Amino acid sequence: MVKLTAQAAGTPWPIRLGERLTAFGNLSLALLLALLTGRLMELSGVLVTTEVPGDVAMVIVAALRSDLVLFLELLVFLLPLFLACRMILRGKNADVRVYGGLGSLVLIGAVALSSYFLFSRVPLGSDLFGYSLSDILTTARGGYHFTELSVATLLLPLAVFWVALRIFNRHPVLEPRAALLLLGIAVTLTVSGVRPLPARGALRSEFAYNVAANKAALFIADAFAHLGRSLPVMRRVPDTAQQFRYLDPQYPFLRGEDTHDVLGEYFNLEPGAPPPNIVFLGVEGLGRAFSGPNAYLGSFTPFLDELAGQSLYFENFLASQGRTFASLPSILGSLPFAEQGFNSFGSRMPKSLTLLSILKRSGYRTRFFCGTRLDFDHQGDFLAQQDIDLMVGIGDYDASYYRLPGSDWGYADQEILRKALLTERDDSGRPYVDYVQTISTHPRYAVPGQEKYLRLFEDRMRELQFSEAEKANHRQYREIYSTILYSDAALRTYFEEAAKLPGYRNTIFIITGDHRLAEIPPSTRIDRYHVPLIIFSPRLSRPARIQSISSHLDIAPTLLAFLRHRYGLNAPDQVTWVGSGLDMEPSLRNVHRYPLKRAITSLDQYVSGMLFLDGDALFAIERDLDLEPVRDDAALERLRAEFADYQARNALFQREHRLIPDGVYTAYFPRR
């Protein structure tokens, strides 16, 4: 047989085209082998180190289907590039050189996405486009590190590809008709709209879906959805889809303040006592899966468990976002997400009122403490817009403080909390609202004195009476669990020292996770948002365990209602809260409606009552926030209408940058 690259001078173009199509088809088999090699390594890396919920065989079958469909659709994209390059590049082995270059680029992208998933347990999507270059570099330097597996995942598929290219070039296995049939199938699949991704409801858990889906296909689909998006236009929706009575169509979230004081009955309040100090402790990645009673992974936060027993403890609480980017605006201001999170406006951030600005107007000192860059996720811009009194970030620590080992993220939780304590100890006596944001429970999951916490991890598993199988499963994430124990110990030390401060008895502490960390795979699509909320104060008259569902968006309205009704603090009559306030019902229920923003560039999940909407898939929320698929067309349409109302208001806010009238705003920010 003549080599595929051999072409006689003066050969008619139809024959040359046929030869090149045949060459392309045969060389594509090398790409298929390399892609399958990469997928085999990815699946091995996941299945060996992680327990995949559900039927593993079904996951593998779905993965192979996803890979094959993407491969065939890639051929339609690669073919014109190959033919165009071959018109320019001639000579010996030109087919191999052209296809090798194109295929190598495809492979590098594919294995990079697989490596990211192996490291983070979350596929990379269009959220890549929502971060600045400096944020991406900080994340990469602070978390990602090369391992033997990550290097092999990159090099082995490339080696297989180039060896197979040489073999299929010298010994083609597809005759011209077979090569044309392969290309015909590829074109037919592409134009018929067959998607390379599994159906959302085909696999029970989000992690199983992410394992099965081809990571390049996920990234491409998410990127096209992001780049081709259009902002919805405000239109009339049924009154039942609107949760609040909005006041002015120019300000899509403006409404009257009607939040009830649900906290007052739980506090022993002394007549004439000054307003309480408020301390927020935002714990990076703290999820209910591994914290608190009935945590399905076992609780690795013994101190927080003790504190929860003396507190108002919300078992079924939701973060509003799947990453940190929206936690400050949601917790402190119950603010809408806009397109990429409220903070994404940066220095052009629309005027807004939050706990910080409202309480500062009432005489509070306002402060923020973290151990990372203040410009990450535009946090500094948000805090500056609220005229905060003090911001402490990575540049504000001296040599006596310890950084996280081997990471660019910044300072360890113990150091951040120590910095906050020293500031609170030296306070002049004015009431204050502090927000302390931790970071240690974040990739790369390395903390000072880690060996101690690895030993405590083993001790904790014995205390929890784990079986040997459970211990083996948890040891896959031993570094992660050790950092959780470290952060819990840091919080214990913080509270022991805070109890010595003169203002301690008049302080309300609010502890929650900014989101549930993803590197230990979530069990359901809503598990990423399932975090604890602990409200503790020495002034509490009694503890309570609350099973009803609330979210970050309910915290600010509830605190201000409490301060307004019990202490007479001045608060606005017109607000832009997305949440409606904490529900204190002890039993499981949900009286709220709100969106959940999984990633910085996605907004496709919504909660209403005991239903959860994920794209077009509807689920019933069960005990412990488990999910069960539901087929109810009427309920699906109702949630779509409610979600559409939020999305349209959110889009109008994004376009017009109007949130609150000047008259309301200037009462708290007088014109200078």
| Tokens standing for residue 646 | 């939020």
Contacts of 357 (CB under 8 A, 6+ apart): 386, 387, 668, 669
Least confident range from 67-71, 225-229, 525-529: namely: 225-229
pLDDT of residue 643: 95
First CA to last CA across the chain, in angstroms?
Answer: 85
Mean pLDDT of the chain: 88
pLDDT band of residue 150 (cuts 50, 70, 90) is low
How many angstroms separate the CA atoms of 37 and 153, rounded? 9
User: Does 161 have pLDDT greater than 70?
Assistant: yes
pLDDT of residue 130: 56
pLDDT of residue 385: 92
Place of tokens 């009427």: 634
Residue range 3-13: average pLDDT? 50
Q: Which stretches within 326-477 are classed as H helix?
A: 327-333, 355-361, 379-385, 413-425, 450-463, 468-475
How many angstroms separate the CA atoms of 381 and 347, rounded? 6
In the chain, the amino acid numbered 423 is T
pLDDT of residue 6: 43
pLDDT band of residue 1 (cuts 50, 70, 90) is very low
- Is the alpha carbon torsion for 140, 142, 143, 146 positive or negative? positive
Q: Strand 611-614 vs strand 550-551: parallel, antiparallel, or unpaired? A: unpaired
pLDDT of residue 239: 46
Q: Looking at the domain covering 277-587, what would its CATH class be?
A: alpha beta
Half-sphere exposure of 140 (CA within 13 A, CB side): 13
- Is the alpha carbon torsion for 189, 191, 192, 198 positive or negative? positive
More confident residue, 669 or 67: 67
> For residue 242, how many other CB atoms are within 10 A of its CB?
16
The CA–CA distances, whole Å, from 288 to 127, 293, 297, 302, 411 equal: 25, 9, 9, 13, 25
pLDDT digits (tens, 9 = 90+) for 499-525: 999 899 999 999 999 999 988 988 898
pLDDT digits (tens, 9 = 90+) for 342-379: 888 888 899 999 999 999 999 999 999 999 999 888 89
User: Does 5 have pLDDT greater than 80?
Assistant: no
| Tokens standing for residue 558 | 């509830």
Residue range 171-194: average pLDDT? 87
CATH 3.40.720.10, the chain: domain bounds: 277-587
| Tokens standing for residue 184 | 């015909």
178, 23 contact by CB (below 8 A): no
| Tokens standing for residue 240 | 């039942």
Q: Is 235 exposed, middle or buried (0-12, 13-18, 19+ CB in 10 A)?
A: exposed
How many angstroms separate the CA atoms of 62 and 48, rounded? 18
How many angstroms separate the CA atoms of 311 and 510, rounded? 10
pLDDT digits (tens, 9 = 90+) for 551-583: 999 999 999 999 999 999 999 999 999 999 999
pLDDT band of residue 8 (cuts 50, 70, 90) is very low
